[in-house]
């Protein structure tokens, strides 16, 4: 009996066939687990293709190379310019006056004094408008100017005005002393003494000859001293310098 039942169970292949129960009702066949239709497993998602990394590596390396090339070009343009500016600054320092370097290390007061001294020296060395002024060529005008100078010169001799004499006489002045020997400007001014005898004077027969920046004045001077008149003839030489006439020589002889 048990075998028959087993054989019966193994021969049943239709799931729709039912068996009647003892009560006459048909039973619904329920297939066993192993009899259910085979369901294939769901398909696995396709494996993603591995991305290639070498193009990225090549791109990064190329970008770095371009950056290095660009940096090299910038340096090639800037470095020579920096060296040129440095050389120019060094040249300016090398050609700057040494007094400027010395004054930079001194206190402010000394710097001010040095700057004033340097500026004064530059003014003295640079040509002025007076130096560039050509000598006058009008004989009448020169004669009038030299006549005024002769009066100032005589007055300075009488009063022993050394400052005025220093202005009238050129540094290379050479004259004749009372004893007949030559006398330079320094000795002339040093030995001059005040004259209390001369009362008045007057110039006569003045004549001037011009030769470029040189002028020669000849004439006579009549001096009144203690009621007596004394006449001297003279030849004074002048040079046009610093925009004015300066005496460079004088020869005086007594006539009466």
pLDDT number for residue 99:
44
Q: Which residue(s) pair with 240 in the sheet?
A: 245
Q: What is the tens place of the pLDDT at every residue in 191-225?
A: 999 998 898 999 999 999 999 999 999 999 999 98
CATH architecture of 132-254: Roll (3.10)
Question: Which carries the bigger pLDDT value, residue 229 or residue 45?
Answer: 229
Q: Locate the domains of the chain by residue range.
A: 132-254
Q: Rounded CA gap, 221 and 254, in Å? A: 10
CA distance 173 to 238: 9
The alpha-carbon radius of gyration of the chain (Å, integer) is 63
Is the pLDDT confidence value at 241 over 90?
yes
* Whole-prediction pTM: 0.50
On average, the pLDDT of the chain sits at: 74
Other Cβ atoms closer than 10 A to 161:
18
pLDDT digits (tens, 9 = 90+) for 69-116: 878 787 777 766 666 666 655 555 444 444 444 333 344 444 454 555
Q: CA–CA distance from 57 to each of 49, 52, 69, 70, 95 (Å)?
A: 18, 10, 18, 20, 57
Whole-number pLDDT of residue 69: 81
Q: Environment class of residue 70 by beta-carbon count within 10 Å: exposed (0-12), middle (13-18) or buried (19+)?
A: exposed
> What's the half-sphere exposure (Cβ side, CA atoms, 13 Å) at 46?
3
- The confidence band for 146, taking pLDDT boundaries of 50, 70 and 90, is very high
Does residue 129 have a pLDDT over 70? no
Considering only residues 72 and 153, tell me which one the structure prediction assigns the higher pLDDT.
Answer: 153
**Angle at alpha carbon of residue 217, lines to 240 and 180, rounded to 5°:** 105
CA–CA distance, 161 with 186 (Å, rounded to integer): 14
Residue appearing with tokens 């040189």: 214
d(CA 105, CA 98): 12
The number of beta carbons lying within 10 Å of the beta carbon of residue 102 is 12
Task: Read off the pLDDT band of 150 (50, 70, 90).
Answer: very high
51: which 2 tokens?
A: 């991305």
What pLDDT does 9 receive? 45
CA distances from 105 to 92, 110, 111, 114 (A): 18, 9, 8, 12
Q: Poorest-confidence range of 6-10, 231-235, 250-254?
A: 6-10
């Amino acid at each position: 009996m048990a075998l028959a039942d087993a054989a019966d169970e193994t021969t049943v292949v239709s799931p729709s066939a039912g068996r009647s129960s003892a009560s006459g009702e048909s039973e619904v066949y329920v297939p066993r687990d192993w009899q259910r239709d085979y369901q294939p497993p769901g398909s696995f998602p396709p494996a993603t293709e591995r991305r290639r990394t070498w193009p990225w590596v090549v791109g990064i390396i190329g970008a770095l190379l371009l950056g290095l090339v660009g940096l090299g070009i910038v340096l090639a343009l800037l470095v020579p310019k920096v060296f040129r500016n440095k050389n120019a600054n060094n040249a300016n320092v090398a050609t700057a006056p040494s007094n400027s370097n010395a004054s930079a290390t001194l206190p402010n007061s000394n710097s001010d004094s040095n700057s004033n001294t340097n500026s004064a020296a530059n003014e003295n060395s640079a040509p002025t408008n007076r130096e560039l002024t050509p000598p006058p060529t009008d004989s009448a005008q020169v004669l009038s100017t030299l006549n005024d100078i002769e009066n100032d010169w005589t007055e300075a001799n009488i009063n022993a005005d050394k400052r005025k004499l220093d202005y009238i006489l050129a540094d290379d002045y050479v004259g004749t002393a009372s004893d007949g020997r030559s006398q330079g400007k320094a000795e002339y001014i040093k030995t001059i003494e005040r004259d209390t005898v001369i009362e008045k004077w007057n110039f006569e027969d003045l004549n001037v000859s011009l030769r470029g920046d040189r002028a020669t004045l000849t004439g006579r001077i009549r001096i009144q001293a203690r009621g007596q008149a004394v006449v001297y003839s003279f030849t004074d030489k002048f040079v046009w310098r610093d925009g004015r006439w300066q005496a460079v020589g004088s020869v005086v002889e007594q006539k009466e």
